[in-house]
């Protein structure tokens, strides 16, 4: 069995016939000599007769043959095709047509449209719109005019940007392009046993949590916003966030004011579904978010998380068991994970 697969997690997905896990591993039955995808409708064997492998090739190398009922090799091919389509859409300035995407991965358009939506939760066209909105957001943050950002992102006209993309930015486009003009962001810095922590919030909720940052760094993100140091107004929020540093397993219902692309928000929601004291690999996170082929993109979405602790990206580790990346250092990530494990039974 591959060391990069948690057997308990794999068995739970296999026992539940979880379609979201298809393409992330295969289950091999020692008594029959066959391997299946997690959603295979066949009767389940005993747990002790199961082995799990990262992909069909690994199972075949171990002497197993593919199930003729669920055809796991085709699932692996489908997953690879979706991943290749995502790379294509991400890398082109102008969104390719469905015919072009399907031709690129070697599928019929109508079949691949259904396959892509089943794997990611959105159609290829919807995914492309999310990519364009993300490009526009980055261009506006970098100081481009609204019109320049619209065309740089690949929109054919400003009207398409407002119809498809503006809602994803959180702020109105002109406010974003002016560095948050008209927005008031209050901030404070509080000491924790893991270092100083910046906490910033709008009237709607917390918009930024960061170790080793200060008001100047926040002002760089929103140079035209009204940035106010306000320890008193944020005292209650700050106390709850500090408590999360000390005990990251505790429940919270703190208000948030964060927005991302549709894909990023799906990943962030998946992060919040990981139980305290447990971890998932980046591949498992991508599958939880409904995008099993987008492992690298899931990692990027973790990096774009502005409110760590509240959206617990520290619960994602590498498939080989390594601690993986973390914006605020591996030692802090390891400390948060250890605290969750220690307090899991509390």
Query: What residues act catalytically?
Result: 36, 313
Asked if 27 and 43 count as a contact pair (C-beta separation under 8 A), the reply is no
Find all residues with CB under 8 Å of 196, minimum gap 6, and list them.
189, 190, 211, 212
Buried b (16+ CB within 10 A) or exposed e, 306-336: bbbbbbbbbbbbebeeeebbbbbeeebbebb
What is the rounded CA–CA span in Å between residue 341 and residue 278? 8
Main-chain phi, psi angles of 199, to 5 degrees: -130, 125
Element (H, E) at 29: strand 26-29
Main-chain phi, psi angles of 129, to 5 degrees: -65, -40
**Alpha-carbon 317 to chain mean position:** 13
Angle CA(247)–CA(266)–CA(76) in degrees, nearest 5? 110
Burial class (CB in 10 A: 0-12, 13-18, 19+), 59: buried
Cα-based distances in Å from 28 to 12, 15, 142, 280, 285? 14, 13, 50, 22, 23
């Amino acid at each position: 069995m591959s060391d990069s697969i948690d057997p308990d997690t794999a068995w739970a997905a296999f026992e539940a016939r979880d379609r979201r896990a298809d393409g992330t591993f295969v289950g091999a039955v020692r008594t029959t000599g066959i391997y299946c995808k997690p959603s295979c409708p066949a009767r389940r064997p005993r747990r002790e007769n199961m082995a799990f492998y990262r992909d069909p090739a690994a199972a075949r190398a171990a002497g197993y043959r593919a199930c003729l009922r669920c055809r796991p090799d085709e699932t692996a091919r489908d997953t690879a095709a979706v991943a290749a389509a995502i790379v294509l859409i991400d890398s082109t300035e102008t969104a390719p047509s469905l015919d072009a995407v399907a031709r690129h991965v070697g599928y019929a358009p109508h079949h691949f449209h259904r396959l892509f939506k089943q794997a990611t939760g959105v159609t290829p066209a919807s995914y492309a719109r999310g990519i364009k909105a993300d490009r526009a957001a980055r261009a506006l943050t970098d100081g481009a005019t609204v019109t320049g950002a619209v065309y740089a992102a690949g929109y054919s006209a400003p009207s398409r940007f407002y119809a498809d993309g503006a809602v994803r930015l959180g702020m109105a486009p002109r406010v974003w392009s002016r560095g948050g003009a008209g927005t008031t962001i209050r901030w404070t810095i509080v000491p924790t046993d893991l270092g100083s922590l910046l906490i910033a919030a709008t009237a709607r909720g917390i918009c930024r949590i960061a170790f080793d940052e200060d008001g100047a760094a926040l002002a760089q993100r929103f140079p035209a916003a009204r940035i106010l140091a306000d320890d008193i107004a944020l005292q209650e929020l700050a106390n709850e966030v500090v408590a999360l540093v000390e005990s990251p397993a505790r429940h919270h219902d703190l208000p948030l004011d964060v927005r991302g692309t549709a894909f990023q928000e799906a990943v962030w929601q998946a992060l919040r579904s990981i139980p305290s004291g447990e971890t998932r690999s980046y591949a498992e996170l991508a599958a939880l978010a409904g995008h099993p082929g987008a492992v690298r993109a899931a990692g990027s979405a973790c990096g774009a998380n502005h409110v760590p602790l509240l959206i617990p990206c520290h619960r994602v580790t590498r498939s080989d068991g390594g601690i993986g990346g973390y914006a605020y250092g591996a030692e802090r990530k390891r400390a948060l994970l250890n605290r969750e494990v220690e307090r899991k039974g509390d």
